[in-house]
Structure 1
Amino acid sequence: MKPRDRLLAALVALILGLNFVVIDWGMEDVPPLLFVAIRFVVVLLPAIFFVRRPHVPWRFIVGVGLFMSLGQFALLYSSMHLGMPPGLAALVLQAQVVFTMLIAAGALREIPRPAQLAGALIGSLGLAVVAFGRDAQVPLLAFLLCIGAALSWGVGNVISRASGAKGGLSLTVWSAVVVPVPLFALSLLIEGPQEVATALSGLGIEAILATLYTAVIASLVAYGIFNSLLSRQPAASVVPWILLVPVVGIVAAWLLLGEVPNTAELLGGALMLAGLLVAQRAGAGPFRRVRS
C-alpha cells in the first residue's frame, strides 16, 4: 500500500475505534435495532440524491448492504445491548480480519502472502486470549452475536472487493437502501411498538449526536474510505489495518467510560497490534491471485 493509503486506513481505524463508545452512549435511550435503522436513514438521506449510484450490478450493492451494514450492525448493537462492553466489542469484532481473508481466498482466489497470513494468525491468537479471558459478567450470547457481526462484516468486505466499485462513498450510500425498512420492521416486532414510539418521541441530545457521528463520520466517511481502499487493494492488504480499531476502542472506553480492561484484553490487544505489524511486512507487492 502507498503511504497515503496507509494514512487513510489508519484514519478509518481511529474513527471506527471511537465509534464503539459513541454507540454505547446513543443506546442509553434507544433500543438497538431502532438505533441502527435511524443511523442508516441518516446515511441514506439526503446523500442518495447527490451521490451517483456505483456502476456495479445491483447484487453487489444489495450484498454489501445486507452484510456490511444490516447484518454487522444489527448483531453488534444487539450484542452491546445484551452486555458486551464497548472495548471488548471492539476487540472481538476484529475476527472479521480472519473471516475476510478466508472468504476472499475461497471466493476471489486471493491467497494471502505468508506475512499476511502469519499476521492474521497472531491476531486470531489475540482474539482467543480475549475470548477465554473475558469477564464472567459478559453473557455468552452477547459474545456470540459479536462474532456473528464479525462474520457478516467479513462477507461484506469480500462482496465490496468483488464489486470493483470505484467510489467508496457511492457504494456506502446506495447499499444503505436495504437497511432501514427491514430493521424498522424487526424493531417493531422484537422491541415492540411502545418502546419504539417512546424512543422516537424522546430522542435526547446524546442519541442525536451519536446518530450523527455513527452515520456521517463512521458510515459515510470511514466506510466510504474503507470501501474505496478495498476497490483498489487486495482485501488482506486493507483489513489488517482494522486491527488498530480495538486498540483505539479499548483506550477510548477506558478514558471515557471508565471501562478498565483486564489482563487478557490488554494481552489480546497487544497480540492483535503485533499481527498488524507482521502483516504489513508483506510490503506493497500484490497478492498471489490464483486463476481457476
Structure 2
Amino acid sequence: MTVTNTGARARPSIIVLTAVIVTVLAWASAFVAIRAVRDHFHPGPLALGRLVTGTLVLSAALLLRRTWVRPTRREWLFVAVYGAVWLGFYNVALNAAEQRLDAGTAAMLVNIGPLLIALLAGAFLGEGFPRPLLIGAVVAFAGVVLIGVTGGGGTAADPLGVVLCLLSAAAWAIGATVQKPVLRRLPALQVTWLGCAIGTLVTLPYAPGLLGDLRDASAASIAGVVYLGVVPTALAFGTWAYALSRMPAGRLGVTTYLVPPLTILLAWPVLGETPHPLALLGGAVALTGVALSRRR
C-alpha cells in the first residue's frame, strides 16, 4: 500500500516535468521556424496563420474533451489580456524582431521574460522572492547574456530588433502573470483555446496579407506555419498552461532559460547560424542557473 501511494504522489510531478520539457523544446523550435519562413511571410500574417492553425487544433481537442467551465467577469478580463497581449501582440512583435535578428539572439533577448515573470509573480501573485529563485535567475540570465554576445557570430544586433524582443518579453511576462489566477479554476485546455482564439481576433486585420503570402509562399514555408500553429502554439501553450496551473509562475518561468541554448543548437544545422564556443559556455551557465532555481 505504501508503494502505491508513493507512486500516486510521484506521478503528477513526472507529468508536470514532461509538460515543461515539451514546452521548452517546442518554444526553442519556434524561434528557428520563424526564421526559416521569414522570406515568405510578413510578421502580422505569420502570427495570424500560426494562431488560426493553433485555434483549429485546440478546438478539436476541446470538443473531444467536452469540458467547459463558465468564466467569471474577472476571469474573462484576464483571459482577454492574456490572449491579446501574449498570443496576439507577442507573436507579431517576435516575428518582426526575427526579420532583423538571428534566432539565438532573439531567444536570448526574449528570455528576460522569466525575470519579469518572477518579479510580477512575487509582487502580484503572492509567490514572494525565494533566494534560490533569485540566485538561479541571475546566474541563468548571465549565461543567456553570454549567449547573446556571441551566439550570432559576433555581429552587431539591430536596434529595432532588440526593442521588439524586449517588448515581446514584456508581453510574455504580463500574459503569464494574468494567466496564473485564471488557471486556479478553469481547465488549462480551455484557457489556452480562449487565449488563442482572442489572439486570432486581434491579428485578424492581417488576413488579406496572409492570403497574399500564402499565394506566393513555398510548400515548405506553408508547412512551417502549420508547424508553428500545431506544436509551439497549440501543444506548447497547452503544456505551459498545464504546468503553470501546478507550480509557481516564477519557478516555471526560469525553466525557459533553457530555450536560448536549445535554439542555438537547433539553428546551427537548420539555418546555418553557427554558435560561438562562448555561446556553448553560456548555455552551460544557463543550465546551472535553472538547476539552482529549482532548489528549495
TM tier, shorter chain? 0.7 to 0.9
Letter in 1 for 2:175: G
The residue aligned with 2:97 is 79
Matches of 2:132 and 2:167, distance apart in 1:
26
- The answer to whether structure 1 residue 218 and structure 2 residue 232 are counterparts is yes
Two-structure CA RMSD over aligned residues (Å): 2.2
Q: Does the 8 Å CA contact 2:108/2:148 hold for their aligned counterparts?
A: no
- Secondary structure of the residue aligned to 2:195 is helix
Matches of 1:232 and 1:197, distance apart in 2:
39
Number of equivalences: 275
- Secondary structure of the residue aligned to 1:110 is coil
Of 238, 241, 244, 2:258 maps to 244
Q: Does the 8 Å CA contact 1:69/1:179 hold for their aligned counterparts?
A: yes
Of 10, 13, 24, 2:21 maps to 10
Query: Post-superposition shift, 1:154?
Result: 0.9
The residue aligned with 1:148 is 167
- CA pair 196-47 structure 1, distance change in 2 beyond 3 A: closer
Share of identical aligned residues, percent?
22
Of 179, 182, 188, 1:168 maps to 188
Moved more, 171-180 or 256-265: 256-265
Of 153, 174, 178, 2:198 maps to 178
Q: Does the 8 Å CA contact 1:71/1:153 hold for their aligned counterparts?
A: no
Normalised TM-score (structure 1): 0.85
- The answer to whether structure 1 residue 24 and structure 2 residue 41 are counterparts is no
- What 5-or-longer segments of structure 1 have no aligned partner? 283-292
Matches of 1:28 and 1:278, distance apart in 2:
40
- The answer to whether structure 1 residue 59 and structure 2 residue 73 are counterparts is no
- Secondary structure of the residue aligned to 2:274 is coil
Moved more, 11-20 or 131-140: 131-140
Letter in 2 for 1:61: V
Normalised TM-score (structure 2): 0.84
Matches of 2:267 and 2:189, distance apart in 1:
28
Of 227, 231, 251, 2:241 maps to 227
- CA pair 203-167 structure 1, distance change in 2 beyond 3 A: farther
The residue aligned with 1:68 is 86
Q: Does the 8 Å CA contact 1:36/1:77 hold for their aligned counterparts?
A: yes
Q: Does the 8 Å CA contact 1:10/1:244 hold for their aligned counterparts?
A: no
The residue aligned with 1:289 is none
- CA pair 54-96 structure 1, distance change in 2 beyond 3 A: farther
The residue aligned with 1:290 is none
Of 254, 259, 262, 2:273 maps to 259
- What 5-or-longer segments of structure 2 have no aligned partner? 1-11
- The answer to whether structure 1 residue 138 and structure 2 residue 150 are counterparts is no
Matches of 2:273 and 2:56, distance apart in 1:
34
Give per-residue Cα distances to partners, 1:194-226, cap 9 Å, x unaligned. Answer: x65531322321222112211111111111010
Matches of 1:169 and 1:264, distance apart in 2:
39
Moved more, 17-26 or 50-59: 50-59
